[in-house]
Amino acid sequence: MDTTTVPQILDGNAIAAEIKTEVAADIERLHAQGIRSGLTVVMVGNHAASEIYVRNKVKTSAELGMNSELVTPPATVTTGELQALVSRLNVRDDVDGILIQTPLPAHVDKKLLDQAVAPEKDVDGFHPINVGLLQSGHPRLLPCTPAGIIEMLRRTGISIAGKHAVVVGRSDIVGKPMAMLLLHENATVTICHSKTKDLEGFCRTADILVAAIGKAGIITPQMVRPGAVLIDVGMNRITSQEDFARFFAGDAKREAAFKKNGSVLMGDFDPHAFALASYYTPVPGGVGPLTIAMLMANTVRAARLRRGLPVSK
Q: Which residues are catalytic?
A: 57, 101, 124
Considering the complex, state which of residue 280 and residue 305 has its C-beta at the smaller distance from ligand NDP: 280
- Single residue of 16, 192, 229, 302 touching ligand NDP by CB under 6 A: 192
Alpha carbons 109 and 122: distance in angstroms, whole number: 17
Considering the complex, state which of residue 35 and residue 167 has its C-beta at the smaller distance from ligand NDP: 167
Of residues 113-172, which lie at the interface with ligand NDP (CB under 6 A)? 145, 168-171
- Single residue of 107, 193, 259, 307 touching ligand NDP by CB under 6 A: 193
Contact predicate 173/145, CB 8 Å: yes
Distances, alpha carbon 9 to alpha carbons 72, 117, 132, 195, 291, in Å: 37, 37, 34, 31, 17
Shortest Cβ 194–ligand NDP spacing (Å): 3
- Single residue of 194, 220, 239, 241 touching ligand NDP by CB under 6 A: 194
- Single residue of 199, 294, 296, 303 touching ligand NDP by CB under 6 A: 199
Torsional sign, CA 283, 285, 288, 294: negative
CA neighbor of 172 nearest in space, from 115, 220, 118, 236: 115
Considering the complex, state which of residue 38 and residue 289 has its C-beta at the smaller distance from ligand NDP: 289
13 binds ligand NDP (CB under 6 A): no
Shortest Cβ 283–ligand NDP spacing (Å): 8
Considering the complex, state which of residue 153 and residue 174 has its C-beta at the smaller distance from ligand NDP: 174
Contact predicate 195/163, CB 8 Å: no
Residue 142's Cβ-count burial label (10 Å; 0-12, 13-18, 19+) is buried
Considering the complex, state which of residue 169 and residue 217 has its C-beta at the smaller distance from ligand NDP: 169
H helix or E strand, kind and range, residue 252: helix 252-261
Shortest Cβ 132–ligand NDP spacing (Å): 20
Shortest Cβ 222–ligand NDP spacing (Å): 14
Strands (E) located in the chain:
8-9, 38-42, 67-71, 97-100, 164-168, 188-192, 208-211, 229-232, 236-238, 264-266, 279-280
Of residues 205-244, which lie at the interface with ligand NDP (CB under 6 A)? 212-215, 218, 233-236
Q: Provide the 8-state DSSP code for 71.
A: E
How many residues of this chain interact with ligand NDP, rule: CB under 6 A? 26
Shortest Cβ 174–ligand NDP spacing (Å): 4
Alpha carbons 202 and 191: distance in angstroms, whole number: 9
Alpha carbons 35 and 50: distance in angstroms, whole number: 30
Can you give the binding site for ligand NDP, defined by CB under 6 A?
145, 168-171, 173-175, 192-196, 199, 212-215, 218, 233-236, 287-288, 291
